[in-house]
A and B are shown apart, each in its own frame.
Chain A
Amino acid sequence: MATGGLNLSSEFFQLLKAIGESKSKQEEDRIIAKEVARLKQKMESPPSNQTGPQAAFTNPKKLAKEFLVRLLYVSMLGHDNSWGLIRAVEMAASSSLFHKRTGYLVCGACLPPDHEFRFMLVNQMQRDLSSPNVLECSGGVLACTSIITSDMVPAVAGEVTKLLSHDSATIRKKAILCLQRFYQLAPEVVTQEEMKKHVEKALCDKDPAVMGSTLNVIESLSLENKALFKHIVPSLVAILKQIGDRRLPAEYDYHRLPAPWMQMKLIRILGILGQADIVASQGMYEILNEAMKKADSGINAGYAVVYECVKTIVSIYPNAALLDAAAEAISRFIQSRSNNLKYLGVTGLAMIVESHPKYAAQHQLAVMDCLEDPDETLQVKTLDLLYRMTNPVNVEFISEKLVHFLSQTPDLFLKQVLTDRVCKIAERYAPNNAWYCKTITQLLRVSGDLVQQEVAQNLMSLLAEGTGDDDEESDMLLRQTAVEMMVKQLFSEHAGALPKILLETMAWCLGEYGYLSAETSLDMLLEQLCELAETRSLPITTRKCLVTAVMKLVAQAGTCPPAAAAVIDEYTRSKDMDLQARCLEFQTILTHCPQLLPEIFPVDASAEDVQVDPNLSFLDGYVQQCLHQGAQPYDASIYDDDDDDDDGYGYGGASQPEPSFKMTPYEKPQTPAQAMMAMAGAGQLRSAAQSISLPPGSGGGSMISQPKADTTPQLSLNTRNVANVWGKGGLSQAPQPASTQTPTTTHIPTPAPAPSWGASKTSVSTPKAPELPQKTAEQLERERQAAALFGGIVPGAAPVPSAMSLPVPAPVPATPAAPPPPAPSAPEVDLLDLSIWDTPAPAPGPVVDSFDVAPASLAIVETVSDTEDEPVSVPAPAPIPAATMDDPFASMMGGLQDEPLESFPAASSKFEYNGVPMAPLQITTAQFGQQWGNCAATTPTSVQTTMNLTALLAKLEEVGAHPVEAIAASNEGIAAGMIGGAQLVLIHGRVTGSSVEMTIKSTDTGIATSLALFLSSAMR
């Protein structure tokens, strides 16, 4: 302690000591309460009467200052000190600078933002700001930043602005930051335009410190408005160069590195300004390269500069040489022994890997290290990286890691994020359906209700509908696997404490396919489900699902065990009307006509169609009979409200012919809420079309009359992945040989269909890293894991996983992600097939109207088909010509098939992004419209040209897009393209005669902006 004798009163010293020694929060609170009482008392008596025991503390000013410090202390420990703040305000007006500062300090730290005392300080601050004393002035500026609120800005802004040309650099550097603060508080008083002017001046200040603090302001302002400072890029580059050349005074060096913080800020600003700006970016390449080399001096501050360079290089218009240098720097970070640098390495890799997957390949083992590190920050970052580099080959490994992490972390926010990510990669890259089922079940277990309902719905649709390749056997196998998994969950300990979404899914699954379980008999299942259904702690919706499952199993078993009867009997008294009605009806059927049960709950028919006879022809006989007996004929005009009369319809008996009514929303299972409702049987919906109560649904909308497996072409769950062709394809910017579904192609060297692969000089070619000659078993295991992780990134590195043993369908799917979609040659499934509306067939199932969940799913069929029919009914949007079948890589290219390397010489007319040319995407207008919303990045652009619509579309075609449609009536045209088989590009242009207004949308911001630039220059 330097200041020797403590300048403290003994009271304060005792206080600090007591606080320091206090053992509990309560004790601390007591001490502070005492202190507060003492201070209050002191405040009331004039300070001059206070005489401390020590001679040195007779100075009243000194005591007053200490009083404030004690106030600050009280507030820091979380106690109210508002009663003493008036003293701080008084003190701010003191003539002693030191006291003044103490006053300001306490005011700034303790006054609530809207406190009236703040206004009392304005005058004082104004005086200080114009004080000739530099320190007073500087104290005034400091006080302004912490005390001024938005209404007070006009009172002091003028004074602070004047200070920008103060003689002292200390004042100038503070004034510019203070003004920035004012700008944030009151942009209408200190405008952006003004700030720009001030900043330009301050940047050229002769004192480097002023320039240094100005950089903060430039960064904040350019984040708001990039255009504001585009013009100073050359100046910034020049400053950076001068710093690099050590033109600043040596005192700015930090560990012999010239002004590292200024360098960082400068490089950061360059990164912001260079985004999507080729010209600006080109001006930076050289200096970035230079700064990165010079900063690489092995100290932290140097790494900080290097890391900023990496970030900037990734964000500006790409340059291959710099990217290589950045990757090199990242690789050194990631292999560093310091966790801080590893963290930067993983973060940096995650930034670069999405657009340049090749760089990930070298770091397999290092990434594995980070993943196993006990440091959670590092783990989370690594998981983020993994998510970004997921591809069809490593998806199993990565999702396993994510699920494992999920089961351990208590952080809810993180859990939600990771859960969504697992769902996303599982749906996008699932290698086979059994894996998908397993992963989702695990996920439901560890994340519970954080999982979106639609995910569970998708799982059930998959089970109900099968894979869609008409292979009933494999479908059954899949169902059996799923059932066994669910049975395991059911019989696990604390099954009642499982997440409700898992219980509901399980209830449906076992209710439908419980009989498939090889290990467990129906009786045992029933018993366990009954027990679960009686668990009071579960929400009623979940119990409802369980009860429904019990009913289904009773129907399948043919007998009703006492336990089941008891459960159902109990719920006939349920407060939940729907459940009560179901149970009562079930009881009635069970006692009166049990033979109907198998028909009400048909086995394995949840995906079957049900035909509804809207004309109710089955009632004709009955009607005739009544008419004969003198009844009045029906007059629609009297009964046209659809209220009660539907009970009279629809239950004529089970004599309906060909059912064709689709009960399950199986075409694009993405209307989760409603679909789940159907499952839960919560809907008492009525068909709006005919006001008919539809046949009883059994839980999953499965009240189906007749199985007719062979007539309806089944859709695979994965057909929805067709959308991924134009969705974000993860790492598939470059073709990935290892992800080919034909094992034979795995080890064929890449024939360089994309330049990025050709340039990949560092790719590790086998799981065995050559630099490790001696391997322990553990190492081998880790390498195996690493290989699993990096499969699909390194050519030939990953063995094709067993999952790939799926039969290869005749046409290779356009997306590497999707398991075989239905062969394009198969008859198109018309999911709009709502012909049921006019197919006469009576509803099945008698007197069970309140089971009519089916209409709920019906409604879904309707909505879904209205909006999202296209991608499902078209198996692959860009049907690959048969010729590409010979080239396994062509199939990986997605829409790129006609863009081989030789097109590069003509690069001037084609748009390229990172060296990958845009390929036309053959889609329809409807698909275009649907994808429009999916593209996150939007860049509008306007080009002055007299081009007409035909010329525009021709131009777009020339650039590499597929002209989708020209709408002559409104002079609009749309075109679509694809980059790297993963990034979708949509272009909408409107021709006005003098100009073309275009909106460019893409799944990638970089692509959208650079295409906009490219097009506007190409069309001028």
Chain B
Amino acid sequence: MIKGIIIVNNHGKPRLVKFYQSVESESLQQNVIRRVFQQVAARPDSFCNYLEGAIPEWGDNIKLIYRHYATLFFVFAVDSQESDLGILDLIQVFVESLDRCFESVCELDLIFHSDRVHYVLDEIVMGGMVLETNIHSVLQAVKDQDRLHKDSLTRVEATESASHIQQRLGGDTSKWQYNW
């Protein structure tokens, strides 16, 4: 099970916090975030992307699996049921989905549209379990919501056209990772 997902920037400021296994209090939650950041930030990018047994609030044998993109750390805390490399790629899927939602996502998007980031994440992970790994389905679900959002606000927003997404899908996905 995925116990929690934390996105934190290079200075330790949380950008998204999602706890699937809740911890008791808000201060404990802050502790977790702080400790996760401290451990992850101490590791150069050349190190492997795993950290073991680090978060007592979530129990023993918790593994932190993280990826570092430019200014942000995406950290997934998982138990032994999840595949190490699988989660790494799942982070990639998540980031790729965000990227397509926001068109070249950057840290500011996460700040100003934190609710939307949550919605994207909700389409990928649900209740600590991997719901969907297919980027197309994720994007479709988010898009459907955007449409409704539009309708309900009777206000037209600049959303990505389908062709636009299609174009990006065909593009090289390796470049954008570092292109925040």
Which residues of A does B touch, CB under 8 Å? 1-4, 6-8, 13, 16, 19-20, 56, 59, 61-62, 65, 68-69, 72-73, 75-80, 96-99, 101-102, 105, 109, 113, 135, 138, 142, 145-146, 170, 173-174, 177-178, 180-181, 209, 212-213, 216-217, 219-220, 223, 251-252, 254, 259-262, 264, 268, 300-301, 303-304, 307-308, 338-340, 342-344, 374-375, 377-378, 380-381, 413-414
Residues of chain B in range 16-42 having any CB-CB distance to chain A below 8 Å: 16-19, 22, 26-27, 29-30, 33
Whether A304 contacts B114 by the Cβ 8 Å rule is no
Asked if A261 meets B157 with Cβ closer than 8 Å, knowing A3-B113, A69-B114, A216-B129, the reply is no
Q: Are B85 and A301 in contact (CB under 8 A)?
A: yes
Q: Is the CB of A180 within 8 A of B145?
A: no
Is B129 in contact with A213, judged by CB distance below 8 angstroms?
yes
Asked whether A2 and B88 contact (CB < 8 A) given A180-B127, A264-B83, the answer is no
Given the known A-B contacts A77-B14, A98-B149, A340-B88, are A105 and B118 also in contact in the complex, defined by CB atoms under 8 Å? yes
- Given contacts A2-B101, A304-B86, A343-B48, is CB(A212)–CB(B132) below 8 Å? yes
Q: List 25 A-B contacts (CB under 8 A).
A: A2-B109, A3-B102, A3-B158, A4-B158, A59-B155, A76-B17, A96-B152, A109-B17, A174-B131, A209-B132, A209-B134, A212-B132, A219-B81, A251-B134, A254-B93, A261-B133, A264-B83, A304-B85, A307-B83, A339-B46, A339-B47, A340-B48, A343-B84, A378-B47, A378-B48
A80-B26, A342-B48, A343-B48 known; A72+B112 contact, CB < 8 A: no
A177 touches B158 (CB 8 A): no
Contact B86 A98 (CB under 8 A): no
Closest 9 CB pairs of A and B: A304-B85, A2-B103, A339-B48, A145-B127, A78-B30, A96-B152, A375-B47, A98-B149, A216-B129
CA–CA, A301 and B104, complex, Å: 23
Knowing A75-B26, A135-B145, the reply to whether A2 touches B127 (Cβ < 8 A) is no
**CB within 8 A of B157: which of A3, A73, A170?**
A3
**Closest chain A residue to B169, Cβ basis:** A251
Q: Please tell me if B58 contacts chain A, counting CB pairs below 8 Å.
A: no
* Chain A residues closer than 8 Å to B57, beta-carbon distance: none
Cα distance A2–B112 when bound, in Å?
12
Once the chains bind, are A98 and B145 in contact (CB under 8 Å)?
A: yes
A20 to chain B: which residues have CB within 8 Å? 13, 111
A307 to B13, CA, bound (A): 34
- In the complex, which residue of chain B has the Cβ closest to the Cβ of A308? B83
Interface size on B, residues (CB 8 A): 68
Across the interface, name the chain B residue whose C-beta is closest to A303. B85
Closest to A268 in B: B83
Determine whether the beta carbon of A69 is less than 8 Å from that of B132: no
Smallest CB–CB gap between A144 and chain B, Å?
Answer: 9
Check: B10 CB closer than 8 A to any chain A CB: no
A213 touches B83 (CB 8 A): no
Partner of B145, one of A4, A68, A97, A301: A97
Output the nearest chain A residue to B173 by Cβ-Cβ distance: A255
Q: Answer whether residue B70 sits at the interface, using C-beta atoms and an 8 A cutoff.
A: no
Q: Which residues of A contact B118 (CB under 8 A)?
A: 105, 109
Q: Say whether B49 faces chain A, with CB atoms less than 8 Å apart.
A: yes
**Given A13-B112, A76-B14, A97-B145, 9 new contacts (CB under 8 A):** A1-B109, A98-B152, A135-B148, A181-B127, A209-B137, A254-B93, A343-B48, A343-B50, A380-B52
A303 to B137, CA, bound (A): 24
For the complex, give the distance between the alpha carbons of A17 and B114 in Å.
15
Known: A69-B115, A261-B133. A101 touches B126 (CB 8 A): no
Chain A, residue nearest B53 (CB): A413
Per-residue CB contact flags for chain B residues 83-111 toward chain A (1 = under 8 Å, else 0) read 11110111001000000011110101101
The reply on B162 being an interface residue by CB < 8 A is no
| Residues B101 and A304 in contact, CB atoms below 8 Å apart | no
Q: How far is the CA of A16 from the CA of B16 in the complex (A)?
A: 14
Q: Is B119 an interface residue (CB 8 A)?
A: yes
Contacting pair A2 B83 (CB below 8 A)? no
Considering residues B53, B83, B104, B155, which has the most beta carbons from chain A within 10 angstroms of its beta carbon? B83
Q: A145: which B residues are within 8 A, CB to CB?
A: 126-127
Whether A300 touches B47, Cβ cut-off 8 Å, given contacts A16-B111, A59-B153, A61-B153, is no
Contacts of A62 in B (CB 8 A): 153
Q: Is the CB of A2 within 8 A of B160?
A: yes
Out of B26, B136, B152, name the residue touching A99 (CB < 8 Å).
B152
Q: Which residues of A contact B127 (CB under 8 A)?
A: 145-146, 177-178, 180-181
Q: Measured between alpha carbons, how far is A213 from B104 in the docked complex, in Å?
A: 29
Inter-chain contact A223/B81, CB cutoff 8 Å: yes
CB of A20, distance to nearest CB on chain B (Å): 7
Q: What are the residues of chain B within 8 A of A138 when measuring CB–CB?
A: 141
Considering residues A2, A181, A307, A374, which has the most beta carbons from chain B within 10 angstroms of its beta carbon? A2
Look across to chain A and name the residue whose beta carbon is closest to the beta carbon of B15: A76
> Using Cβ atoms and an 8 Å threshold, which residues of chain A touch B131?
173-174, 177, 213
Residues of B within 8 A of A101 (CB): 119, 145
* Alpha-carbon distance A79/B29, docked complex (angstroms): 11
